[in-house]
Amino acid sequence: MAKSKGGKTLTLTTLALAKGRTAKATIQLLSKANINFPDFHEKTRKLIFYDATNKIKMLFVKAVDVPTYVTTGAADIGIVGKDNILESKADVYEMLDLNIGKCQFVIASKTLSSLRDMRHLTVASKYTNVAEQYFAQKNISIQTIKLNGSVELAPLIGMADVILDIVETGTTLKENGLKPLKIIEDISTRLIVNQASFATKTRQIQTIIEQLQIALED
């Protein structure tokens, strides 16, 4: 794709950026890396933005959709949480940890004190694919219950034995009487790349990565 400026046709790199709690910090990091989107502001309803050099087109989309945009090639690169990458099973290159929105995938329960000797569990989670993959590795059969919010409620009303959720401070678990049993993955915002784009737009993508690396080290 290209955008014309001053009679010149430029090859664009398309970036899918996740909306939500990490968006502000991500935009700040991009700005620090000299990647600026003049028309972007926190209350915007626009979905497409161009950087100041007209070389990068940004798609501002829901976090859960970022891996899909990148996998299908609708975006060359994406910035999104590791949780969404794992849940989507996205076939992409994970190139850089941006160290934004740090948290963890945690298994927690109200009644269990350990997963040892468990053979079957009912697991409530937004991240059912992550749950299925993890417990399969542990040879524990599970029934998953998909919940998109208030996951902590499930063990309290007997709906599930355990939950698998992202946890930042652990306060919500504690306030609801849940005990963390296992930390299974560190989560943060990552930069992912479409495999075909990495081959065809190597220089442009590497430049963006290098700019972000310098910003992270500064």
3 has a pLDDT exceeding 90: no
22 has a pLDDT exceeding 60: yes
The residue count of the chain comes to 218
> Dihedral of CA 69/130/175/149: which sign?
positive
Cα–Cα nearest to 190, from 164, 216, 218, 217: 216
Q: Identify the three-state secondary structure at position 75.
A: coil
Domain extent listing, the chain:
2-101+188-217, 103-187
200-213 mean pLDDT: 97
Q: Identify the three-state secondary structure at position 17.
A: strand
Percent pLDDT > 90 in the chain is: 90
Using CA atoms, how far apart are residues 205 and 11, in angstroms rounded to an integer?
Answer: 12
Across the strands, what pairs with 160? none
Using CA atoms, how far apart are residues 63 and 139, in angstroms rounded to an integer?
Answer: 31
163-167 mean pLDDT: 97
**CATH number belonging to the domain at 2-101+188-217, selected among 3.40.190.10, 3.90.1010.10, 3.30.70.60, 3.30.420.80:** 3.40.190.10
Predicted TM-score (pTM) of the model is 0.90
Buried b (16+ CB within 10 A) or exposed e, 95-126: bbebebbebbbbbbbbebeebeebeebebbbb
CATH topology of domain 103-187: D-Maltodextrin-Binding Protein; domain 2 (3.40.190)
